[in-house]
């Protein structure tokens, strides 16, 4: 007699894995909290006070399910972006939207192209639905649009993924480069343009894309600049036929009333967004100064984090990361060479960055001692 769940052959063949181990899990394992939480690319500056107030008010109505259509939020986003509501779908962060998109488009064995070392949650969804990942290397610490397109053409890929600005390196391409990539897409390949960090990028990074263009879907979030990572609100912008298909598979009650209220109020508070951008810019400068003072090389960043080249290989960078954790500083690092010569430090408050500044020289010294 067979006991236990009868998994599908696909699921049974998958390794036990997850894209990220959260800082809370790390704190439980180590038995104490971090003093500087600088690894998850959250906005430590928090959400708009108006968003907090709206969420507090909405909390009294949590006995009700959230609006399954996110009607008010969708209407506000459409007005903000100059598109129709039919061009938008809202979901549980970009992660949830990526999962639904892959479910809609990728069958077992279908090819999907991405960059080696790019956002691992996308890869997690592709393999979870049986897709075959085909990766191309970064070029000079940036995703390589030419290589991505060429590989999509060679493999007949269903999807090609690029983040702009990029995670984990913080680099970016100008709008004209992304537009050229869209124009070069092979027939039948859908481009997934992840713009989670677009609010931090220089003017001219976001391309002008016809919202009816069926070749591209854009992903954005309230988790970063709007400081609502814990609320899990993201949205996708695409052609109506593609957007409508999300209704076939999405969790219709996946967004709480509290999350919707917070995102709606955050979207309206442009002054807070301006203030957060300014604070992030200052923090990026401080991270760069700390890195340079310790003989390390900060990479230019258009995000709310800075990749710092530790000057060695991935093993050395990991030792630096581990030594920082021993000193109660949480950072992360890219997962593959040559990107893994870096650690990735999120924009923090002045107090958090003071802790980082104090811990980094000691972590470097300990890592170098182990290397000898």
pLDDT attached to residue 341? 98
Q: Which residues have C-beta within 8 Å of that of residue 39, sequence separation ≥ 6?
A: 23, 330, 331, 332, 344, 345, 346
The answer to whether 333 and 340 have CB atoms below 8 angstroms apart is: yes
Q: How far apart are CA 47 and CA 51, in angstroms?
A: 6
CA-to-CA separations, 368 to 194, 263, 317, in angstroms, rounded: 37, 45, 10
Q: How far apart are CA 202 and CA 206, in angstroms?
A: 9
- Paired strand residues for 351: none
Please spell the DSSP secondary structure of 32-55, one letter per residue: S--SEE-SS---TT-S-HHHHHHH
Q: How far apart are CA 199 and CA 347, in angstroms?
A: 14
Closest by CA to 280, choosing from 353, 186, 211, is 353
Q: How far apart are CA 194 and CA 220, in angstroms?
A: 7
Residue given tokens 């854009």 in the structure block:
218
pLDDT attached to residue 105? 98
**DSSP-based three-state secondary structure for 321:** helix
pLDDT attached to residue 20? 80
Q: How far apart are CA 227 and CA 35, in angstroms?
A: 19
Please provide residue 233's backbone torsions phi and psi, each rounded to the nearest 5 degrees. Answer: -130, 120
Burial environment of residue 21 by CB neighbours within 10 A (0 to 12, 13 to 18, 19 or more) = exposed
Which domains are assigned to the chain? 21-46+271-371 (3.90.1150.10), 49-268 (3.40.640.10)
End-to-end Cα, the chain, rounded Å: 57
Q: What does pTM read for this prediction?
A: 0.96
Closest by CA to 301, choosing from 344, 353, 356, 357, is 344
- Paired strand residues for 343: 308
pLDDT attached to residue 1? 56
pLDDT digit of tens for each residue in the chain (372 aa)? Answer: 567 888 898 888 888 877 788 999 999 999 999 999 999 999 999 999 999 999 999 999 999 999 999 999 999 999 999 999 999 999 999 999 999 999 999 999 999 999 999 999 999 999 999 999 999 999 999 999 999 999 999 999 999 999 999 999 999 999 999 999 999 999 999 999 999 999 999 999 999 999 999 999 999 999 999 999 999 999 999 999 999 999 999 999 999 999 999 999 999 999 999 999 999 999 999 999 999 999 999 999 999 999 999 999 999 999 999 999 999 999 999 999 999 999 999 999 999 999 999 999 999 999 998 876
Q: How far apart are CA 335 and CA 130, in angstroms?
A: 22
pLDDT attached to residue 322? 97
**DSSP-based three-state secondary structure for 111:** strand
């Amino acid at each position: 007699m067979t006991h236990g769940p009868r998994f599908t052959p696909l699921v049974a063949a998958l390794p036990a894995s997850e894209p990220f181990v959260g800082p809370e899990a790390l704190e439980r394992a180590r038995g104490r909290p971090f003093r500087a939480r600088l690894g998850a690319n959250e906005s430590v500056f928090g959400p708009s006070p108006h968003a907090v107030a709206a969420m507090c008010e909405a909390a009294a109505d949590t006995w009700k399910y959230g609006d399954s259509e996110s009607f008010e939020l969708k209407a506000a986003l459409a007005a903000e972006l100059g598109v129709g509501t039919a061009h938008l779908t809202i979901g549980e962060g970009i992660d949830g939207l990526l999962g639904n998109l892959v479910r809609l488009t990728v069958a077992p064995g279908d090819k999907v192209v991405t960059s080696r070392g790019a956002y691992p949650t996308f890869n997690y969804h592709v393999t979870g639905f049986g897709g075959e990942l085909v990766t191309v290397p970064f070029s000079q610490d940036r995703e390589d649009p030419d290589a991505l397109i060429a590989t999509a053409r060679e493999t007949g890929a269903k999807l090609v993924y690029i983040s702009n600005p990029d995670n984990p390196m913080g680099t970016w391409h100008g709008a004209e480069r992304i537009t050229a990539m869209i124009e070069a897409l092979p027939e039948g390949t859908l481009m997934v343009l992840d713009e989670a960090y677009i609010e931090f990028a220089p003017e001219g990074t976001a391309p002008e894309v016809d919202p009816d263009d069926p070749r591209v879907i854009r992903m954005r979030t309230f988790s970063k600049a709007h400081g609502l990572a814990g609320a899990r609100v993201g949205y996708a912008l695409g052609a109506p036929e593609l957007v409508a298909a999300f209704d076939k598979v999405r969790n219709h009650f996946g967004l709480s009333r509290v999350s919707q209220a917070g995102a709606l109020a955050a979207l309206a508070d442009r002054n807070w967004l301006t203030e957060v951008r300014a604070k992030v810019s200052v923090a990026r400068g401080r991270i760069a100064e700390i890195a340079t003072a310790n003989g390390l090389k900060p990479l230019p960043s258009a995000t709310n984090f800075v990749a710092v080249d530790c000057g060695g290989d991935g093993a050395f960078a990991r030792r630096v990361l581990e030594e920082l954790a021993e000193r109660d500083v949480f950072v992360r690092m890219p997962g593959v060479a040559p990107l893994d010569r870096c650690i990735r430090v999120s924009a923090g408050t002045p107090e958090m960055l003071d802790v980082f500044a104090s811990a980094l020289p000691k972590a470097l010294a300990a890592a170098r001692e182990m290397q000898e």
